Chain A
Amino acid sequence: NAGVTQTPKFRILKIGQSMTLQCAQDMNHNYMYWYRQDPGMGLKLIYYSVGAGITDKGEVPNGYNVSRSTTEDFPLRLELAAPSQTSVYFCASSPQGGGTEAFFGQGTRLTVV
């Protein structure tokens, strides 16, 4: 049981380049999330999805896009990378909202230079 799998683990982008961070979960969870983690700042929600075909913005969505064509996959797209997007990105999933805990991937460390 792999849980939540993120690829790549590390990436260096040049300013203005684009890339997609991949996220897949094999637990049949309806809810999926993308967070960014900046030092001393905790986790900030970028986008979330409550099921296939349904996505919505979180706290810090600017500069990102997502899609959810299947229950398993929730890719995050960065368009026109900027240095402010240098961060560690975590994908997570949960069976539902409410009192259920989230399961996190190992993260993608992105540096924009």
Chain B
Amino acid sequence: AQSVAQPEDQVNVAEGNPLTVKCTYSVSGNPYLFWYVQYPNRGLQFLLKYITGDNLVKGSYGFEAEFNKSQTSFHLKKPSALVSDSALYFCAVRLNTGGFKTIFGAGTRLFVKA
């Protein structure tokens, strides 16, 4: 079955430290990969995506993600966390067969402590 796993329910980091939010996937073919962020009482906002090309993708607010095809992972990273980065982060996968179906992970709550 096709799935997206975010193995950590919550990630805690101190402000100024690097952060990583993990995502692995199990789908057939070569999917498109996305990260979204959700702030309290808000909808999801797009952060970045991997379509093809360079495995390191840069996105909004200083976030980046590394695509690893052999490990089927797409981990979200940031070199220096801010308290304002505290939010719920979703990894999402869409098949590249020209369709629309997107599979979302369960989400990881990031807490950045001052």
Contact = CB atoms under 8 A, between A and B. Distances in A.
Contact of B96 (A35, A90, A98): A98
Nearest to B52: A99
Given A42-B90, A90-B44, A98 B106 contact: no
Contacts, number: 61
B29 interface: no
B32 A99 contact: yes
Q: 6 closest A-B pairs (Cβ-Cβ)? A: A104-B43, A97-B100, A42-B104, A101-B46, A99-B51, A43-B104
B43 A99 contact: no
Given A98-B32, A99-B49, A101-B34, A45 B101 contact: yes
24 contacts: A4-B43, A31-B100, A33-B100, A40-B9, A40-B107, A42-B4, A42-B104, A42-B107, A43-B104, A45-B102, A58-B101, A90-B43, A92-B43, A96-B100, A97-B100, A98-B32, A98-B94, A99-B96, A101-B34, A101-B49, A102-B46, A104-B36, A104-B44, A107-B43
Interface in A93-113: 94, 96-99, 101-107
Contacts of B96: 98-99
Given A40-B9, A42-B107, A97 B46 contact: no
Contacts of A33: 100
Nearest to B51: A99
